[in-house]
Structure 1
Amino acid sequence: MNPLDDISVFGSVHLGYVVIETQKFADWHRFGRDAIGMHVDELDATTMRFRLDEHDCRFLLRRGPAEDVTTLGWQIDDHDTFDHIVRRVTGRGVPIQEASADESALRGVERLWRFPGPKGLIQEVFTRPHCSGQPLSMHTSSFVTGEGGIGHVALTTTKPAQVRGYYNTVFDARLSDYIDETINGAKLKIRFLRVNQRHHSLALAANRGVKVDPIRTRIQHLNIQVDNLDDMVDSYQRVTDLGFGMALAVGQHTNDRELSYYAQTPSGFEWEVGWNPITVDETTWEPTTHQGISIWGHTPVGQTVVDKLAQFKQIIRSLREREETVSALSGDGIPDD
């Protein structure tokens, strides 16, 4: 056994924050605060943060042209586990950099280090969040965070084995299950990975035929969870009343049983608001394959011909471009079980 892998970090890793680069600050302010119902802090003309709970930062928005998620921030429970993850990364020759004090302060965390991840998504690890104690001002009564982290992110990829291998190498991610789905004629296999008790912190969707990626952004969607059903219903109504696009109407997933909807963010990727997913019991859980993403609902809303043409152009573009991987941390990848 590789000495870098002899201690599992599973259960000590939690999705702590997400960094978004955008020029659309006014739209994001309305979307995050008025539609989704999060607390907003405007730090200056180039920086805005959203809060879900006592943590100072759960979403950091920086001004820039990407209109995309750029970074995933992972909270690590203790310094020993943090050091172990750093050794895994550096031991395989991957560059890792300590963040400055100002960068840590913007994210509201301590002991922050970063290293490259799949699809150009920077991975950041930290050990302790700042909790200022300032009261929350939110339309939503409460969000579910805690041991499961803030939610999950979903990626489309042409290299699912390598991406899965990466998160297994770095965080000892475990396979929760698969979903087979056909969307607009494309046959997809979606892999769901967990790093703690949350059913999944990462979902990896890949076309089962030609290796294409229909999504412009690094992530296809991100998810947060509300504490009660009324909060989900109320936010759905606010999203539609305020004129933001709705990608998928309310429905229930086959695998984690979460009730949710998907809104279109100002930057183009989707934002899922969910309620009441199952948590994984490690003593009994066995991965399985589900047919279709939903038991009911999640019907597409308002997709236009222009949207379909843009997606087709992205598919053609993805045939010419090479998806970024971090081969030193992906090994040979993990083939489907």
Structure 2
Amino acid sequence: MTLKVAYWGFEVSDPAAWVRFMALFGLEPQHEGDAVFFTVDEKAKRIHLRPGPADDLRYQGWEAEDEAEFAAVCARLAGAAVPFATGTAEEAKFRGVRQFVAFQDPNGIPMEIALGMQSAARPFHSDLVPGGFVTGDCGLGHIAAPAADYQASRDFLCKVLDAAVSDYIFHPLAPGMVAQCVFLHTNPRHHSIAYAQLPMPAPKRLHHFMLEARHIEDVGRAYDRVRAAGIPIERQLGQHPNDRMLSFYAVTPSGFSLEFGYGGVRVEDGDWQVRDYDNFSLWGHELAGAPA
């Protein structure tokens, strides 16, 4: 299958703060009533903001390539006895898609399979990120989410979305405490979703979402803008060992993070080897407040 991340929906308590935050990454808002939308490419509605108290992920949408793939995913959901519901015409219009079905993963994360994404009225352009973003056959980006059981979450996505494992990271947090992470792909992007089983409860459904710039200098300039604006940095510039992404993590107004990166590797299943890693970073990515 070739499912791609199509869109994210967030419920946010301060939409105006989000508009200011996203402007630092070159994204301009589109307003529809009390909702705010952003795009990063030729698609009309990539990031959806709705006002509300949750300050968390409301849903992740996946784009099916065509009607055959859409039907195949629905059949997989039915075959796995996963409850799913068809979105209304009004809900589909809000998302800028022709149709979608909604279900939940084992962690309660709402997911959607969409078909027929609406094109933007004009192509995306930003003077702040002139190189634009890596989307296309890789989709919008990725999310990382806490999981009660990373293996059960992995097995679920492999079964219903035909996902495949890219690799694992088992990162020591403290003596006797390890973050157990699995990275999954459904297209050439190294991972469209990562699950992390943590030794402590997580406050939100979402740890971070990732956008990938085409040019490394766009990441560096965004890093400078974010720091100059006084936005909290969760992790400083660094590079991951598995997807080779050079990135930093900025804290959104809702408390989860945006990873802004460059240079992620593409996964070609015929040649790809699944590996285990024991650290999140090759270099950098120091936590805010960590000693130099």
TM-score interval, normalised by the smaller of the two chains? over 0.9
Checking the alignment, whether the CA contact within 8 Å between 2:166 and 2:184 is kept in structure 1 is yes
- Cα distance in 1 for partners of 2:265, 2:123 equals 29
Q: What does the per-residue CA deviation read over 1:264-307, in whole Å, with 9 as the maximum and x for residues that have no partner?
A: 0111111100101111122211111122111110011137xxxx
CA drift of 1:184 comes to 4.5
Q: Residue 26 of structure 1 aligns with which residue? A: 16
Report the equivalent of 1:258. Answer: 245
More helix by share: 1
RMSD value, Cα: 1.5
Question: How many Å apart are 1:113 and its aligned residue?
Answer: 1.4
Does 1:87 pair with 2:75? Answer: yes
Aligned-pair distance for 1:189? 2.0
Q: List aligned pairs for 1:1-337, cutoff 5 A.
A: 9=1, 12-33=2-23, 35-44=24-33, 46-136=34-124, 138=126, 139-141=128-130, 142-185=132-175, 186-207=177-198, 211-213=199-201, 215-302=202-289
Match of 1:276, as an amino acid? G
Q: Which runs of 5+ in 1 are unaligned?
A: 1-8, 304-337
Which region of structure 1 is more displaced relative to structure 2, 111-120 or 48-57? 111-120
Choose 13-22 or 161-170, whichever is displaced more: 161-170
TM-score of the superposition, structure 1-length normalised?
A: 0.82
C-alpha distance in 2, partners of 1:27/1:259? 26
CA contact under 8 A between 1:39 and 1:52: conserved in structure 2? Answer: no
Q: Give deviations 1:19-74, integer Å, cap 9, x for gaps.
A: 000121111010112x2221321222x20001101111111011111100010100
* Residue identity in the other structure for 1:201: S
Paired with 1:239 and 1:184, the residues of 2 have a C-alpha distance of 30
Percent of pairs identical after alignment? 32
> Which has the higher Rg, Structure 1 or Structure 2?
1
**Distance in 1 (alpha carbons) for counterparts of 2:120 and 2:142:** 24
Distance 1:242 1:76 in 2: 38
Alignment check: 8 A CA contact 1:158 1:206 kept: yes
* Contact map agreement 1:70 1:120 (CA 8 A) in 2: no
Query: How far has the Cα of 1:183 moved from its partner?
Result: 2.4
Give the TM-score, by structure 2 length.
0.94
Q: Give the Å deviation of 1:84.
A: 1.2
Deviation at 1:90, TM superposition (A): 2.3
Moved more, 89-98 or 64-73: 89-98
Question: 2:123 & 2:3 partners in 1: Cα distance?
Answer: 26
